[in-house]
Structure 1
Amino acid sequence: MRVSQGLFRTWREAPTGAETRGITMLLRAGYVHKLGSGLYTNLPLMQRTQAKLEALIREELPRVAQEVSFPVLQPGALWQESGRWDGYTQPGGIMFSLRDRTGRALALGPTHEEVAVATVRELVRSRRDLPVSLFQIGRKFRDELRPRSGLLRTCEFTMKDGYSFHATPGELATHFEDMAGAYARILTRLGLQWRAVDADSGSIGGSASREFTVLSEVGEDEVLYTDDGLYAANAERAVSRAAEAPPSPFQGFARHHTPGTVTVASACAALGCEAAHMLKNVLYDAAFLTADGERRRVPVLVSLRGNHTVNPVKLWNAVQEREEGTLLSLEVAQTGQWAASPLPLGFLAPDLPDTVIARREGLQPAFLRLCDLAGADLRDFATGGNEPDIHVSGANWGADYALPEVADLRQAQPGEASVHDPRQPLRSARGIEVGHVFQLGTRYTAAMNATFVDTGVNTGVGADGAAHPLQMGCYGIGVSRLVQAVAEQLADDRGLSWPDVIAPYHVLLTVVDGGDAAQVDAAEALYRMLRAAGLDVLLDDRPERAGIKFADADLWGIPYRVTLGRALKEGQVEIRVRRSGEEHRLAPEEVPDWLAARLDWQRG
């Protein structure tokens, strides 16, 4: 390809609204064009880069799955079957929904679990048909509330998503590891710094999930890990050993007048204790959608140590596990919406009576009471007195308060000891989630009646001729997101710097002086030689100054630049490696073999 004949527009200044270095360079280098909020056009350079990433994925995935193509437009009835339609289409949901001319509900697929189940349940009959593992690479649509950070959070994007079906949980677990291994090979071949971490399954559901994170300071996710390599988890899922609270200064139960002490810090100052001696109690409002389409609200009272914070994902999961229906929202309570009378906020105790809840249709008349593990371990603690300006001290579970249901609800913090080895503190890093694998079990297949019959040797599911729900897994890689993640980690102040395996072109030929016939002729000859050797070549034949061409070369991030300039008088060209900056001089006829050897080494 010749630069003069293609759509290669570069920009010297960062475009307005570019939030990170990666998307800034992709925009400046003319890889993408922003069309609207969360909407980007892939220009030719980006299209080539993304196509090469898709090719890399296709090299690894056929070992474990077969490629298919599901429709982007999905029948809403399938989402009704799985029970996800309301949650995804209600206000705050991420799915674009519409109706066809006959009034049938349709959706633009944000993901394809329902479609995969509906397809496989028609094709799988017995255990002999299993396992089945399918993947596709295609467009997804999500109605993001706040599209941001370029391609990292958009309304339309390219994704590789896969779905597998098995007879037993053990077979699913084995395939889960096989797919995770493929993801690891893909990220390793890209030369990235990355981690596989335990993660929350979110709205997808399931019993286990693992997230693949590219390390980057601009990442939305915090990863907590140990130096021994034995533990890594997304912060929303991470666990740790809470530091023990120091010995309590309180002896015996007592009440205290503590006016104006509505915060933990002010209460501790008044009582002469540390935050770790305090039990704080926080009210939440949970909104549920019942199976019959009714809405109901559940007041939630959470107790935890004063020096700890609630992990919202852990709390969400704990509430969802204990209440029927689909949890739609969980927020710190605006008590005026459900309290029968004003509450002494800042002075609440774990035994706040249910009678404070207004008797109203759709409002559960009793608190769901939860206590964090570390809060449950407190002895002789201080807490609110359920009256304005009153605290109590020297309180104990069992003697003074009934212990609520106990769950891990607190946010693990860097520096805390790991669970597997107290000598290993948790470290923190930022990361971009680029892949996620899930063990869904029968979450979707049972709801959608996707079953198989096992009439052979007993496999643990009952070889009795009965129908059993398929065990399901799902596996995703954000393709366009991963391209930007590569840019975020590998770009520098001069521009992009692509790994050989996904660079839009392997080599850029730069003619220093377009008016020098010898340089132009040598470039044309080398261009033909490189193409004949099977290399992707971009020839910069523009009538621009050398400085502009060199700046654009750095901005484009093509791995190798061959400069045809004054060195030709000595029978040589100059090769510069974009990533390392190393330079070499070779005769033009030596360049194809030199580049091919470097590229083969990088592939290996």
Structure 2
Amino acid sequence: MRLSKFFLPLLKETPKEAEIVSHRLMLRAGMVRQQSAGIYSWLPLGKIVLDKVCAIIHEEQKRAGANEILMPTIQPADLWRESGRYDDYGKEMLRIQDRHERDMLFGPTNEEMVTEIFRSYVRSYKDLPLNLYHIQWKFRDEVRPRFGVMRSREFLMKDAYSFDMNQEGARAAYHRMFVSYLRTFERMGLKAIPMRADTGPIGGDLSHEFIILADTGESQVFCDKAYLEMQAPDEGIDYWDEAAMAKIVKDFTTPYAATDEMHDESAYEAIGEKDRLSARGIEVGHIFYFGTKYSDPMNAKVQGPDGQEHTVHMGSYGIGPTRLVAAIIEAFHDEDGIKWPEPVAPFHVGLINMKPGDGACDEICEKLYKAIGASGRDVLYDDTDNRAGAKFATFDLIGVPWQVIAGPRSAAEGKVEIKNRADGSRDTVSVEEAINRFGAA
């Protein structure tokens, strides 16, 4: 993409309503535009990052055996009355009526609807286990939306729902999603720590939050420093090896880890003082096993191998991609702007022509632009007449991991400068070397 053709509405000043780093930088970098309290439009730069986050989520959900569907945002109230949650959910639920005065709602979550889909089609234990997921917009009418997309009213959610014959099968499904989440966040460059959590209004008796550490995190968390060295399993794992999944979950839940709400001071103090870590954290994922909480009142049953009907056991598994974009910024930034991990960066390379119109600069940049693009890497080519300082500031602000800079002096020698946004290091190399580094397929 050429910067001269790219819609990138940067802000020089930080809006007063932006309280945290991610909100400030997302507004300044032209990633989002607030339309009303807690409701945002996603502009091109933000949408590219959001799509990359979603792509990783999709890949890891499918690798773990989940089937993608897409459910509507508007749901009939009768489903929620059937489960008993319609009157209990509270004012966060946006209740509406259609033109025929039928009670409807803008879905804050989808347990009821996915259970209705399941019971309409699945009759036998032979069709289990089953996991259905989608990535869809949700609405929760927060009394005080704040922190930009970190706590907005409308947000994108990946929610998955597992169905199994019994508790044993449901826990195996829980383990698969637990491991899938470890891989998902690690692929994004994040160190996510699973912490036992309160199940809240979702219900059930088993739940974990996945927390990343960040100075501006909304929650106080306590954990063993061992988590900082733990690595998610690699791509070659067998999600259907139940013993292997259970072992990974045990390994990642044995060290102490808790949010402030679930904190046990005596258990925490049992850790050696040098191994304790108290910090701020941001929730980026939440998983639940809730048994028959929804399948029982909604009569979701299958015929078992004994010929009898059995109420299915369920779990739900959430990741908020819109919230996750902000969380990544909270974890990766400096005073100049965002420092995207490469897997989710909007562009891998920022190509900067320091003097458009200079023959050598133009020739080198065009050559690099074509080579990098042909490799499949995303490149943003600054072909504008902006001054040098503004060019550098723009690429630092939007967080492109690599800057390739062609100035008249270096271009005359057939060289370019390469800057690493993560650590600020710079290196001068030949054009051929730059092509080999970024233009190789």
TM-score (ref. length: structure 1): 0.66
Q: How far, CA to CA, are the matches of 1:133 and 1:537 in structure 2?
A: 37
CA contact (8 A) 1:228 1:424 kept: no
Q: 2:16: which partner in 1?
A: 16
1:216-247 deviation per Cα after TM superposition (whole angstroms, max 9, x unaligned): 122222212234551111221222339xxxxx
Query: Which secondary structure state, in structure 1, belongs to the residue aligned with residue 146 of structure 2?
Result: coil
Q: 1:102: which partner in 2?
A: 100
1:269-290 deviation per Cα after TM superposition (whole angstroms, max 9, x unaligned): xxxxxxxxxxxxxxxxxxxxxx
CA contact (8 A) 2:375 2:438 kept: no
Query: Which secondary structure state, in structure 2, belongs to the residue aligned with residue 186 of structure 1?
Result: helix
Q: 1:443: which partner in 2?
A: 293
Q: 1:226: which partner in 2?
A: 224
Counterpart residue identity of residue 444, structure 1: Y
1:205 and 2:203 correspond: yes
Aligned-pair CA distance for 1:423: 7.8
1:505 and 2:336 correspond: no
1:186-214 deviation per Cα after TM superposition (whole angstroms, max 9, x unaligned): 11112223311000011111110000011
Q: 1:84: which partner in 2?
A: 85
Q: How far, CA to CA, are the matches of 1:516 and 1:23 in structure 2?
A: 38
Q: How far, CA to CA, are the matches of 1:552 and 1:561 in structure 2?
A: 11
| 1:152-551 alignment, distance < 5 Å | 152-227=150-225, 230-241=255-266, 417-418=269-270, 427-454=277-304, 456=305, 463=306, 465-551=307-393
Counterpart residue identity of residue 168, structure 1: N
Aligned-pair CA distance for 1:596: 5.7
1:562 to 387, 400, 404: 404
Q: 2:73: which partner in 1?
A: 72
1:144 and 2:169 correspond: no
CA contact (8 A) 2:60 2:183 kept: yes
Q: 2:249: which partner in 1?
A: none
Counterpart residue identity of residue 94, structure 2: F
CA contact (8 A) 1:576 1:584 kept: yes
Query: Which secondary structure state, in structure 2, belongs to the residue aligned with residue 125 of structure 1?
Result: coil
Query: Which secondary structure state, in structure 2, belongs to the residue aligned with residue 116 of structure 1?
Result: helix
Q: 1:30: which partner in 2?
A: 30
**Percentage of matched positions with identical amino acids:** 41
Q: 2:437: which partner in 1?
A: 594
CA contact (8 A) 1:417 1:424 kept: no
Aligned-pair CA distance for 1:426: 5.8
Q: Please, which runs of 5 or more residues in structure 2 have no aligned partner?
A: 228-254
Counterpart residue identity of residue 433, structure 1: E
CA contact (8 A) 2:189 2:343 kept: no
Query: Which secondary structure state, in structure 1, belongs to the residue aligned with residue 355 of structure 2?
Result: coil
Query: Which secondary structure state, in structure 1, belongs to the residue aligned with residue 210 of structure 2?
Result: strand
Counterpart residue identity of residue 235, structure 1: D
1:379-420 deviation per Cα after TM superposition (whole angstroms, max 9, x unaligned): xxxxxxxxxxxxxxxxxxxxxxxxxxxxxxxxxxxxx624xx
Q: 1:133: which partner in 2?
A: 131
Q: How far, CA to CA, are the matches of 1:423 and 1:42 in structure 2?
A: 44
Q: How far, CA to CA, are the matches of 2:154 and 2:126 in structure 1?
A: 38
Query: Which secondary structure state, in structure 2, belongs to the residue aligned with residue 210 of structure 1?
Result: strand
Q: How far, CA to CA, are the matches of 1:159 and 1:35 in structure 2?
A: 19
Q: 2:116: which partner in 1?
A: 118
Choose 1 or 2 for highest CA Rg: 1
Q: How far, CA to CA, are the matches of 1:475 and 1:193 in structure 2?
A: 19
Counterpart residue identity of residue 83, structure 1: G
CA contact (8 A) 1:417 1:425 kept: no
Counterpart residue identity of residue 234, structure 1: T
Aligned-pair CA distance for 1:46: 0.5
Q: How far, CA to CA, are the matches of 1:589 and 1:29 in structure 2?
A: 32
| Cα distance change, pair 451–216 in 1 and its aligned pair in 2 (3 A) | same
Counterpart residue identity of residue 84, structure 2: G
CA contact (8 A) 1:241 1:422 kept: no
Aligned-pair CA distance for 1:443: 0.6
CA contact (8 A) 2:156 2:321 kept: yes
Q: How far, CA to CA, are the matches of 2:82 and 2:200 in structure 1?
A: 19
1:48-105 deviation per Cα after TM superposition (whole angstroms, max 9, x unaligned): 11101111111211122111101111110000011110122x4xx2111111122111
Aligned-pair CA distance for 1:554: 0.2
Q: How far, CA to CA, are the matches of 2:272 and 2:379 in structure 1?
A: 54
CA contact (8 A) 1:162 1:475 kept: yes
| Cα distance change, pair 15–470 in 1 and its aligned pair in 2 (3 A) | same
Q: How far, CA to CA, are the matches of 1:432 and 1:239 in structure 2?
A: 19
| Cα distance change, pair 430–558 in 1 and its aligned pair in 2 (3 A) | same
Counterpart residue identity of residue 96, structure 2: L
CA contact (8 A) 2:373 2:439 kept: no
Aligned-pair CA distance for 1:581: 1.3
Q: How far, CA to CA, are the matches of 1:542 and 1:76 in structure 2?
A: 53
Q: CA RMSD in A?
A: 1.7
Aligned-pair CA distance for 1:129: 1.1
Q: How far, CA to CA, are the matches of 1:228 and 1:32 in structure 2?
A: 37
Query: Which secondary structure state, in structure 2, belongs to the residue aligned with residue 468 of structure 1?
Result: strand
Bigger share in helix: 2
TM-score (ref. length: structure 2): 0.90
| Cα distance change, pair 426–539 in 1 and its aligned pair in 2 (3 A) | closer
1:580 and 2:423 correspond: yes
Q: How far, CA to CA, are the matches of 2:276 and 2:368 in structure 1?
A: 53
Query: Which secondary structure state, in structure 2, belongs to the residue aligned with residue 443 of structure 1?
Result: coil
CA contact (8 A) 1:533 1:592 kept: no
CA contact (8 A) 1:158 1:479 kept: yes
CA contact (8 A) 1:490 1:497 kept: yes
Q: How far, CA to CA, are the matches of 2:424 and 2:79 in structure 1?
A: 54
Q: How far, CA to CA, are the matches of 1:40 and 1:444 in structure 2?
A: 32
| Cα distance change, pair 452–7 in 1 and its aligned pair in 2 (3 A) | same
Q: How far, CA to CA, are the matches of 2:290 and 2:276 in structure 1?
A: 29
Aligned-pair CA distance for 1:9: 1.9
Query: Which secondary structure state, in structure 2, belongs to the residue aligned with residue 524 of structure 1?
Result: helix
Query: Which secondary structure state, in structure 2, belongs to the residue aligned with residue 241 of structure 1?
Result: helix
Q: How far, CA to CA, are the matches of 1:422 and 1:490 in structure 2?
A: 29
Q: 1:314: which partner in 2?
A: none
| Cα distance change, pair 37–205 in 1 and its aligned pair in 2 (3 A) | same
Aligned-pair CA distance for 1:35: 1.6
